[in-house]
Amino acid sequence: RDGVAVAARPPRRAELQWETPRMGACASAVAVVDDDGDAFYDARMDAFAIEWSTVSADERTRVQASWYALDAQVVREVDVCDDADRLARVGEVEMALWMAARGRGALELEASSTTTERRDLFDRAMAFERDEIDGVDGWTRVDRGRGRTALAAETMTRQGVGSASMAALASSSLAGQTSEETDDASARALATLRHAPSFDEDPDVDERLVVHYGRHKGGMVHSFKLSATFDAPPLRLIAVAREWDLITQWNVFALDSTIMLVRGLTNLVTYTALWLPWPLSCRDTALVVNAVFVGQPPPAAVVNARVDPKTCVSFTSRVSQSSAIVLARAVDPDDDIGIGYPKNAAKRKRVRVVGNSGARIRALPPEPGSARLRTRGDMVLHVDAQMPFVPSSLIKFILKTMAPWVHRMIDSMLKSSKYFEAPDSMFQPRVDANPELYDVVRARFAHEGDVE
């Protein structure tokens, strides 16, 4: 027109001549003009000729556009992948999943093995908090009771066992579990319980420890839930849990504790052996430990992950309260275990930590007049003892002697310069030597109060 080329338009419906009236997708048409544009138009008229891959691509573009609308700045896929990796590395898995979904090719990212692993980890954390920590089904609260020291002495020594029982033990496979190692551990643990004045000095400490027990009738899995409040900030309790190889230096029941592999800041493979009273004597376990943060992260936590907070302003966590969740599972045969088991592990009987086991560490507001945070710790362990019968005296020992002792020991450590603050203390050099990890913890909880 007037010497200017004009693109051909698809024909209007009025220009189409129908051969015969037919139903819906069976209808066919003869276009007035035979060109590529008409062929595309006719394909749209025929339901059976729709190219579904094109439709899927269009839908993906529409979904991505809706994500972009949430932020003022559209980001590239490579930037999103890098940011998601940085966030996941410091335990911000929920935000990492959200970040990955914003990138170009989001559907491909959702299908990737890395994203699937992160989603499974986050779903496990949510289920652990909902069903294990906050759930009440199947749990029985354990009363503190009296005479705990007497119960410990009766359970831990074999003096009260009749000759017939000892003869039966000597002829069983359990006899092979006694050794110089376990005898020394027995004497050390018993001496500690007998001569620890703190057991009677502060009886109110136990008011802050709540113990639950559960077991399916006829099963070999024993479940323990421990909940306690500590007058110390979360960083210290996290340090006690993270520095796994130091357990033998403060826990008299621990025979061995090793970090076999450090997979990342929040991912470890550990080995632990514990002394237990007769008839178990000694049991060990190997765990894969993963930690994630849940709840809305403060801007400092995002900056600490080397991610621009402006790219995350529209993120809202679906978890109302911030906490660190530590998930533990038994080592599988195909897991990489780094340096491997200690040489004594071959002589020990193994128990398996099963189900959704782990711990939750949450900051509590400071006491009136103080700026230092307190900490709430909850731990759930489902333990397959690998034996059909466990004496009730042993269960009572774990619930009424071991658990309160460990709680009191941790409570005293968190407030003592022998373990924190002093340069030559047990945990402070570890904290100072690993700023990459503990700066993450500081940034995560700093907005709630003093973290150290």
Same domain, 156 and 118: no
Q: Which residue has the higher pLDDT, 27 or 274?
A: 274
Same domain, 85 and 43: no
For 382-416, write each residue's pLDDT tens digit.
999 888 888 889 999 999 899 999 999 999 999 99
* Residue 45: C-alpha distances to residues 7, 54, 57, 279, 352 (Å): 22, 15, 20, 79, 62
Same domain, 127 and 153: no
Same domain, 250 and 391: yes
Q: What is the pLDDT of residue 450?
A: 56
Mean pLDDT of 99-128: 79
Q: Is the pLDDT of residue 12 over 70?
A: no
| Residue 48 pLDDT grade (very low, low, confident, very high; cuts 50, 70, 90) | very low
Same domain, 345 and 400: yes
Mean pLDDT of 106-117: 70
For 238-262, write each residue's pLDDT tens digit.
999 999 999 999 999 999 999 999 9
Q: What is the pLDDT of residue 164?
A: 37
Which of 133, 160, 179 represents a domain boundary (last residue)? 133
Same domain, 200 and 103: no
| Residue 218 pLDDT grade (very low, low, confident, very high; cuts 50, 70, 90) | confident
- Indicate the range of 148-162, 319-333, 344-358 predicted with least confidence: 148-162
Q: Is 423 within the bounds of a domain?
A: yes
Q: Is the pLDDT of residue 298 over 60?
A: yes
Q: Is 239 within the bounds of a domain?
A: yes
| Residue 188 pLDDT grade (very low, low, confident, very high; cuts 50, 70, 90) | low
Q: Is the pLDDT of residue 49 over 90?
A: no
Query: pTM of the full predicted structure?
Result: 0.72
Q: What is the pLDDT of residue 103?
A: 65
Same domain, 97 and 173: no
Q: What phi, psi does 382 have (nearest 5°)?
A: -110, 110
Q: What is the pLDDT of residue 79?
A: 67
Domain of 255, CATH number, reads: 3.30.530.20
Omega within 30 of 0 (cis) for the link into 279? yes
| Residue 157 pLDDT grade (very low, low, confident, very high; cuts 50, 70, 90) | very low
Task: Report the alpha-carbon distance of residue 80 to residue 93 in Å, rounded.
Answer: 14
Q: What is the pLDDT of residue 108?
A: 56
Same domain, 266 and 309: yes
Q: Is the pLDDT of residue 54 over 60?
A: no
Mean pLDDT of 331-359: 95
For 32-44, write each residue's pLDDT tens digit.
444 444 443 343 3
Same domain, 278 and 365: yes
Domain with 19 in it: 13-49
Same domain, 73 and 151: no
DSSP H helical ranges for 69-130: 77-89, 93-101, 106-111, 113-127
Q: Which two tokens stand for residue 303?
A: 């900056």
| Residue 24 pLDDT grade (very low, low, confident, very high; cuts 50, 70, 90) | very low
| Residue 30 pLDDT grade (very low, low, confident, very high; cuts 50, 70, 90) | very low
| Share of residues in the chain with pLDDT > 90 (%) | 50
Q: Is the pLDDT of residue 67 over 90?
A: no
| Total domains in the fold of the chain | 3
Q: What is the pLDDT of residue 130?
A: 94
Q: Is 103 within the bounds of a domain?
A: yes
Of the CA atoms within 13 Å of residue 372, those in its CB half-sphere come to: 12
Q: Is 338 within the bounds of a domain?
A: yes
Same domain, 33 and 110: no
Q: What is the pLDDT of residue 367?
A: 87
Q: Is 93 within the bounds of a domain?
A: yes
* Residue 389: C-alpha distances to residues 133, 217, 222 (Å): 27, 11, 11
- Indicate the range of 216-225, 417-426, 437-446 predicted with least confidence: 216-225
Same domain, 216 and 90: no
Q: Is 141 within the bounds of a domain?
A: no
Task: Report the alpha-carbon distance of residue 193 to residue 275 in Å, rounded.
Answer: 14
The CA dihedral of 45, 46, 52, 58, to the nearest 10 degrees, is: 0
Q: Which residues contact 276 (CB under 8 A, 6 or more apart)?
A: 253, 282, 283, 394, 397, 398
For 364-378, write each residue's pLDDT tens digit.
988 888 888 999 999
